[in-house]
Amino acid sequence: METTKARKTKRAPTAILAEFHTAHDLLHAAEKVRDAGYSKWDSHTPFPVHGMDKAMGLKDSRVGWIVLAFALTGLTGAFVMMHWMNGVDYPTIVGDKPPGAPFWTGQPGTMPSMVPIMFELTILLSAFGAVLGMLHLNGLPRHNHPAFESERFKLCSDDRFFISIEAEDPKFDVEKTRALLEGTHPAHLEVIEEEVS
């Protein structure tokens, strides 16, 4: 009984959070953390701060590739759907157009009438690709991030700028990491602890 109680109240650091008042301070702090070789760290800002990609050493976003895959699926899916439904499964002759003639046969087929829906489904799937791809790459929805343990972190969506370094980072060491962040002159520094079992 005693041991479980002790285990329940045991706390361990999960992240260190440094708070800054301007985007300028944040950018320079991020450069230092990047140069120190951390990998599991992040900056948190109320709006996208430009120049941060470089300051954090991030690679280009991969959302575009996901969108491309979705777009091609929409385009070919629309063609296959219309061709199969109106040309193969239940041939429907409208306007004297041979229903089974695909565009490469050279016959005046139904290809022009397929263009609007092929276009629309390409756009529809691309939009889903962009939004779902963005959420997937970001690991969202996720409502339980360690940073939310901090009361001050609420200001991140208002007018404050934060850097968080997570304990999962291989280079993480409470004292050393703290010293590094102190060297960037944050307005406030906080070690976030969570109960561990």
Partner 1 sequence: MAYWEPIRQIDEAHLVKPGSSLREVTDEIARVTENRAPRGWWICFLIASSFAGIFVLCVAYLFWRGIGVWGNTSPDFWAWDITNFVWWVGIGHAGTLISAILFIFRQKWRTAINRFAEAMTIFAVICALIFPAIHVGRPWLLFYVFPIPNQMTLWPNFKSPLLWDVFAVSTYFTVSLLFWFTGLIPDLATLRDRSTNKWRQRIYGFLALGWRGSHRHWQNYERAYLILAAISTPLVLSVHSVVSMDFATSVIPGWHTTIFPPYFVAGAIFSGFAMVETVLLIARSVFKLHRVVLMRHLELMNKFLLATSLLVGYSYAMEFFIAWYSGNQYEMAYFLKFRPTGPYWWAWAWMIGCNVAVPQLYWFKRLRTSIPVMFVVSIFINIGMWFERFVIIVTSINNDFLPSSWGYFRPTIIDVGIFTGTIGVFFTLFLLFMRWLPMVAIAEVKGTMAQADPHHEGDEGSHEVAKVDPSAGGLLPEGAE
Output the six-digit token pair for 149. 């343990």
Of 154, 174, 185, 195, the residue at the interface with partner 1 (CB under 8 A) is: 154
Q: Which stretch binds partner 1 (CB under 8 A): 7-15, 116-124, 178-186, 188-196?
A: 116-124
Q: Which listed residue (32, 34, 97, 188) binds partner 1 by CB under 8 A?
A: 97
The only residue of 61, 76, 105, 107 in contact with partner 1, by rule CB under 8 A: 61
Name residue 197's amino acid.
S
How many other CB atoms sit within 10 Å of the CB of residue 26?
A: 25
Window 172 to 191, contacts with partner 1 (CB under 8 A): none
Q: Are strands 161-166 and 11-20 parallel, antiparallel or unpaired?
A: antiparallel
> Is residue 14 a contact point for partner 1 (CB under 8 A)?
no
Q: Is 36 in the site for partner 1 (CB under 8 A)?
A: no
Q: Is 134 in the site for partner 1 (CB under 8 A)?
A: yes
Task: Work out which of 13, 32, 36, 56 binds partner 1, going by CB under 8 A.
Answer: 56
Helix 63-83 with 111-138: angle, nearest 10 deg = 150
Q: Indicate the burial class of 165 (C-beta count within 10 angstroms; 0-12, 13-18, 19 or more).
A: buried
Q: Applying CB under 8 A, which of residues 156, 180, 181, 192 lies at the interface with partner 1?
A: 156
Query: Quick check: helix, strand or coil at residue 46?
Result: coil
